[in-house]
């Protein structure tokens, strides 16, 4: 069971991303480190095609137990670039919704195969996107709230500009801790 968080600037440039493997439901994940690495091999590309057509993604996600020779696998059995693409594709929907909905937390704003996308829009038009597979409304709300607080603290730093990627290790640790607590 994995979660993917992306923080995007108003011009949609990526500022921060996090992959979190939830410990709550039991599902063995081979090695978070290895699966964090992007893979551009042809086999990974084949995975993209099948998952995009949606034909075999469900079976893939529940039976890909890493381990073997299947190489780089992301939480639900999908590759990193697919995850990124799903997240970015949801921006169209989010921009549509945020024009008429004044809530910052947009829950389950978009869906793609087994992935649900929830979003959080800060007043300054920064977007937090979270890809998740399970329903966890309250947890995600609390998680976004904590990330928001951390994010506001980051922006108050005079050396931070709207388009600087967030590289602070403390920020990273705090977000991970928060993800562990709520997701």
Is the Cβ–Cβ distance between 43 and 73 less than 8 Å? no
Residue 108 within binding range of another protein, rule CB under 8 A:
no
For another protein, the binding residue among 28, 42, 100, 167 (CB under 8 A) is 100
Residue 164 within binding range of another protein, rule CB under 8 A:
no
Rounded Cα distance, 105 and 129, in Å: 10
- DSSP classification of residue 71: -
Is the Cβ–Cβ distance between 111 and 117 less than 8 Å? yes
For another protein, the binding residue among 70, 84, 88, 171 (CB under 8 A) is 171
For another protein, the binding residue among 27, 104, 164, 180 (CB under 8 A) is 104
Pull the structure tokens for residue 130.
């979270």
Contact region with another protein (CB under 8 A), list: 15-23, 28-36, 49-57, 120-128: 120-128
- Scan for tokens 């389950």, then name that residue: 108
Q: Which residues make up the interface to another protein (CB under 8 A)?
A: 10, 98-105, 121-125, 145, 148-158, 161-162, 168, 170-171, 174
């Amino acid at each position: 069971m994995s979660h993917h968080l992306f923080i995007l600037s108003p011009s949609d440039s990526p500022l921060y991303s996090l992959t979190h493997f939830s410990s709550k439901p039991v599902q063995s994940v081979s090695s978070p480190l290895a699966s964090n690495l992007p893979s551009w091999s042809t086999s990974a590309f084949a995975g993209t095609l099948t998952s995009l057509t949606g034909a075999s993604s469900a079976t893939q996600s529940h039976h890909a137990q890493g381990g073997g020779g299947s190489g780089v696998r992301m939480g639900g059995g999908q590759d990193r670039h697919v995850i990124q693409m799903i997240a970015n594709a949801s921006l169209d929907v989010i921009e549509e919704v945020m024009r008429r909905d004044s809530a910052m937390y947009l829950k389950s704003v978009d869906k793609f195969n087994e992935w649900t996308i929830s979003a959080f829009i800060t007043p300054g038009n920064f977007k937090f996107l979270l890809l998740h597979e399970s329903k966890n409304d309250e947890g995600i709300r609390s998680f976004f709230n904590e990330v928001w607080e951390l994010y506001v603290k980051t922006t108050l730093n005079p050396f931070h500009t709207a388009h600087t990627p967030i590289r602070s290790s403390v920020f990273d640790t705090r977000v991970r801790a928060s993800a562990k607590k709520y997701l």
